[in-house]
């Protein structure tokens, strides 16, 4: 025997008989996925043996048995007629009262011309040239920009970039028309829809509400039909886009075979702040030019050509609380200059609104496995007084894509942490903030366009759009992809530069 063989022990040592460390050898995420799969398919696993037993019993039936059954029914004609009539009645009631499906045929995001691009350096130069800001507040704006997550290619309207600035009603109308008509023209070209086919129009713009209204401007420009149902939503903040979707959804339930056009935008020209109140300078640093047009339909014939189906909308309003109500306020400063003031309580208020919103949304979208874990933890903490951490449901099991309003870097950081999302899930929101800035209610659509341009949207994927707004509001919309989106056939603001993204965005980018 060789030395190597003779040195090998015949009986394993006690250390070799020890069990492996399962904590290190088994990835707990697979255990959780197995649990999730078991609970999700528990009903099917339970019913499978029952189906097998019934099938085995039916296989024993002879032709004579079937004849006896038919003979029995033939002499109970009244029962058969009553049951049939009841079945027809219930089926009719179901088909009449069930909600009409709402399809997102297509959408379009406006991309301003290159002349409207505003680098961070140009922003600081134009701010200094106005002569309105103190040296301290110019430095304050510089610090905000360096930490904002905004890049060098965001857009501002001509009236703001001009030296000196020219904020007036004519310029504000010009900006509104440029954004709205640009987005609508692109949408009509994508869908080959005639303007006269539009039966519902919903426009939202929080801070610019002229007379005639923005919706009237669209009706006049495109010569929409006289019996169109139109709404113009104002003062509802960055979450108004999802409010518009929810309103259009409700209108489509009572108006069959109709198209609804939703326009989401904000106007910068008349809402640029020229004072020195720091809480009002933040919007100057974050808000940028943009808008989106969305075409919805309740026609079942449109399902084949539509991109998404609306599954849920959940709206949360915390306006009854004074602190929530006043955390974002348009007001005059001590010098009489109008601006939008952001309270220091904003993040806390947003977190509370988010908690309420996802508590309502969770049971609608989360798999039963996550709901059971959440309920068990709640019972343990509240009833049994156990010292355990509250369970945060894994929304990644309910959604493949997340479109979180690109309101600012702090908002995105907080939601990434609280919802336990990965960099991949946050990428559309962060890249939208970097490339286009905070475009208010339209930012969600730039984010969805990013996912489409990257070729990430597959048939059956679920997307969660979530936005916050003054008042204070937190609103959600859930969409299900009806087909796989081929980026080669798409036309959106990202397509000619999508190969440049994602980019690394440092926490502080010095100017």
If you average pLDDT over residues 497-509, what whole number do you get?
94
Residue 331: the pLDDT is 94
Nearest partner of 294 among 282, 310, 317, judged by Cα:
310
pLDDT tens-place string over residues 452-476: 999 999 999 999 999 999 989 999 9
Residue 165 exposed, middle or buried by CB count within 10 Å (0-12, 13-18, 19+): buried
Query: Which entry of 298, 401, 403, 492 is annotated as an active-site residue?
Result: 401
- Catalytic-residue membership of 401: yes
> Which CA distances in Å does 2 have to 5, 6, 10, 14?
5, 6, 15, 25
Question: In whole angstroms, what is the distance from residue 447 CA to residue 300 CA?
Answer: 27
pLDDT digits (tens, 9 = 90+) for 322-343: 999 999 999 999 999 999 999 9
- The span from the CA of 64 to the CA of 435, in Å, is 75
Is the CB of residue 255 less than 8 Å from the CB of residue 199? yes
- Name the pLDDT band for 389 (thresholds 50, 70, 90): confident
Residue 405 annotated among the catalytic residues of the structure = yes
Exactly one of 106, 405, 425, 492 is catalytic; which is it? 405
238 is catalytic: yes
Per-residue model confidence (pLDDT) at position 73: 64
CA distance 414 to 351: 8
Which residue among 317, 324, 474, 475 is the active-site one? 317
Residue 422's pLDDT is 95
Active site residue 499: no
The model's pLDDT over 402-444, given as tens digits with 9 standing for 90+, comes to: 999 999 999 999 999 989 999 999 999 999 999 999 999 999 9
Q: What Rg, from alpha-carbon coordinates, does the chain have?
A: 29
Top-confidence residue, 483 or 35 = 483
Q: Which of 267, 438, 475, 492 is catalytic?
A: 438
Which range has the worst mean pLDDT, 70-79, 303-312, 438-447?
A: 70-79
pTM: 0.84
3-state percent breakdown (helix, strand, coil) of the chain, nearest 5:
50, 15, 35
Return the percentage of the chain with pLDDT > 90, whole number. Answer: 70
Say if residue 25's pLDDT is above 50.
Answer: no
Strand partners, 477: 313, 465
Pick the catalytic residue: 118, 205, 238, 474? 238
pLDDT value at position 224? 97
Of 346, 368, 347, 324, residue with least CA distance to 418: 347
Question: What are the tens digits of pLDDT across the range 102-141?
Answer: 999 999 999 999 999 999 999 999 999 999 999 999 999 9
Pairing of strands 473-481, 308-317: antiparallel
pLDDT per position as a tens digit, 263-291? 999 999 999 999 999 999 999 999 999 99
| pLDDT tier, 14 (very low <50, low <70, confident <90, very high otherwise) | very low
């Amino acid at each position: 025997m060789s030395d190597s063989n003779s040195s090998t022990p015949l009986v394993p040592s006690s250390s070799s008989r020890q069990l492996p460390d399962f904590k290190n050898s088994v990835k707990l995420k697979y255990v959780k996925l197995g649990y999730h799969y078991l609970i999700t398919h528990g009903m099917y696993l339970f019913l499978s043996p029952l189906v097998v037993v019934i099938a085995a019993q039916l296989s024993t039936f002879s032709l004579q048995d079937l004849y006896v059954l038919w003979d029995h029914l033939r002499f109970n004609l009244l029962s058969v007629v009553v049951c049939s009539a009841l079945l027809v009645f219930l089926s009719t009631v179901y088909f009449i009262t069930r909600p009409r499906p709402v399809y997102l045929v297509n959408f379009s995001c406006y991309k301003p011309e290159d002349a409207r691009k505003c680098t961070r350096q140009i922003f600081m130069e134009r701010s200094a040239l106005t002569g309105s800001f103190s040296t301290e507040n110019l430095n304050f704006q510089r610090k905000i920009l360096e930490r904002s997550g905004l890049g060098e290619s965001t857009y501002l309207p001509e009236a703001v970039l001009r030296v000196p600035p020219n904020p007036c009603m004519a310029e504000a109308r010009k900006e509104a028309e440029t954004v709205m008509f640009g987005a609508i023209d692109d949408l009509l070209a994508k869908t080959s829809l005639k303007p006269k086919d539009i039966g519902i129009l919903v426009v939202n713009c929080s801070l610019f509400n002229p007379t005639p209204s923005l919706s009237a401007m669209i009706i006049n420009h495109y010569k929409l039909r006289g019996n169109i149902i139109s709404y113009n939503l104002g003062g509802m903040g960055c979450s108004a886009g999802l409010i518009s979707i929810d309103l259009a959804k409700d209108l489509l339930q009572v108006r069959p075979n109709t198209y609804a056009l939703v326009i989401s935008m904000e106007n910068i020209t008349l809402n640029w702040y020229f004072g020195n109140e720091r809480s009002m300078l933040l919007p100057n640093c974050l808000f940028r030019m943009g808008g989106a047009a969305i075409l919805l339909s309740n026609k079942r014939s449109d399902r084949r050509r539509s991109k998404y189906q609306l599954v849920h909308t959940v709206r949360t309003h915390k306006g009854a609380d004074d602190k929530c109500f006043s955390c974002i306020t348009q007001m005059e400063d001590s010098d009489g200059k109008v601006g939008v003031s952001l309270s220091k309580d904003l993040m806390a208020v947003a977190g509370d609104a988010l908690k309420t919103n996802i508590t309502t949304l969770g049971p609608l979208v989360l798999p039963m496995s996550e709901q059971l874990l959440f309920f068990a933890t709640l019972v343990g903490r509240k009833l049994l007084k156990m010292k355990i951490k509250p369970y945060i449901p894994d929304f990644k099991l309910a959604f493949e894509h997340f479109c979180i309003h690109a309101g600012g870097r702090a908002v995105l950081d907080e939601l990434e942490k609280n919802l336990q999302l990965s960099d991949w899930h946050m990428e559309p929101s962060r890249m939208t903030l970097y490339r286009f800035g905070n475009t208010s209610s339209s930012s969600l659509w730039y984010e969805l366009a990013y996912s489409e341009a990257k070729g990430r949207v597959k048939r059956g994927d679920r997307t969660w759009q979530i936005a916050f707004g003054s008042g204070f509001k937190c609103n959600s919309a859930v969409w299900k992809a009806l087909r796989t989106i081929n980026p080669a056939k798409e036309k959106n603001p990202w397509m000619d530069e999508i190969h440049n993204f994602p980019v690394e965005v440092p926490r502080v980018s010095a100017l």
